[in-house]
């Protein structure tokens, strides 16, 4: 990793993978363009398996290993962040998206959660225990409306 992490969120108008890669000072390669394109096209957290599948639709030769390494690179550059979900599945998303999500334990649906409500909880936890929640970095868990109804 040569270039300094910029931690600059991607500007709304700057949605061209190549331009983003260039502006972040890293080499423009097929796999990186493909991975970034998928992330740009997909608002909110996406799991690694889907990300890989979609990246391979754009650039069939992309190896799974490379996706992981690319995400590592992007993460150091501050381009993406990880979200821990239950089970061991892990999600990634573009930086700048600080939304909190909940994942259904049955169907794995990802639903957004009101940020202010989580903020209230975070403030409370900090006041009580000095613990600093990082709400964007983990997913809440439970049952979505459909699955709750089906059971």
Instruction: By CB under 7 A, name the binding residues for DNA.
Output: 1-2, 22, 26-32, 48-49, 61-66, 68-70, 72-73, 88-90
Q: If 0-12 CB within 10 Å is exposed, 13-18 middle and 19+ buried, where does residue 90 land?
A: middle
Does residue number 129 form part of the binding site for its own copies (CB under 8 A)? yes
Of 15-23, 38-46, 54-62, 132-140: span binding its own copies (CB under 8 A): 132-140
Of 66-105, which residues contact its own copies (CB under 8 A)?
Answer: 84-88, 90, 102, 104-105
Q: How far is CA 17 from the centre of its chain?
A: 16
Residues 143, 108: Cα–Cα separation, whole Å:
9
Least CB distance from residue 29 to its own copies, whole Å?
29
Of 29-37, 46-54, 71-79, 106-114: span binding its own copies (CB under 8 A): 106-114
The neighbour count for residue 9, using CB atoms within 10 Å, is: 14
Of 11-19, 44-52, 63-71, 108-116: span binding its own copies (CB under 8 A): 108-116
Nearer to its own copies, 50 or 87 (CB): 87
Least CB distance from residue 15 to DNA, whole Å?
18
Alpha-carbon Rg of the chain, whole angstroms? 17
Does residue number 25 form part of the binding site for its own copies (CB under 8 A)? no
The neighbour count for residue 48, using CB atoms within 10 Å, is: 16
Residue (of 3, 121, 103) closest to 20 by Cα position: 3
Residues 65, 88: Cα–Cα separation, whole Å:
18
Least CB distance from residue 36 to its own copies, whole Å?
25
133 within 8 A of 121, measured Cβ to Cβ: yes
The site partner of 32 among DNA, its own copies, none (C-beta below 5 to 8 Å per kind) is: DNA
């Amino acid at each position: 990793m040569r270039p300094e992490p910029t931690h600059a969120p991607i500007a709304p108008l700057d949605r061209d993978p190549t331009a983003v890669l260039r502006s972040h000072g890293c080499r423009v390669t097929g796999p990186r363009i493909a991975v970034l394109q998928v992330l740009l096209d997909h608002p909110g957290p996406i799991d690694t398996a889907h990300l890989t599948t979609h990246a391979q639709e754009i650039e069939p030769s992309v190896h799974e290993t490379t996706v992981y390494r690319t995400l590592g690179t992007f993460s150091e550059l501050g381009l993406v962040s990880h979200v821990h979900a239950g089970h061991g599945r892990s999600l990634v998303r573009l930086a700048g998206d600080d939304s909190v999500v909940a994942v259904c334990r049955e169907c794995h649906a990802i639903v957004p959660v009101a940020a202010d409500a989580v903020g209230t909880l975070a403030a409370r936890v900090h006041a009580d225990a000095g613990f600093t929640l990082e709400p964007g970095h983990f997913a809440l868990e439970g049952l979505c409306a459909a699955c709750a109804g089906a059971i």
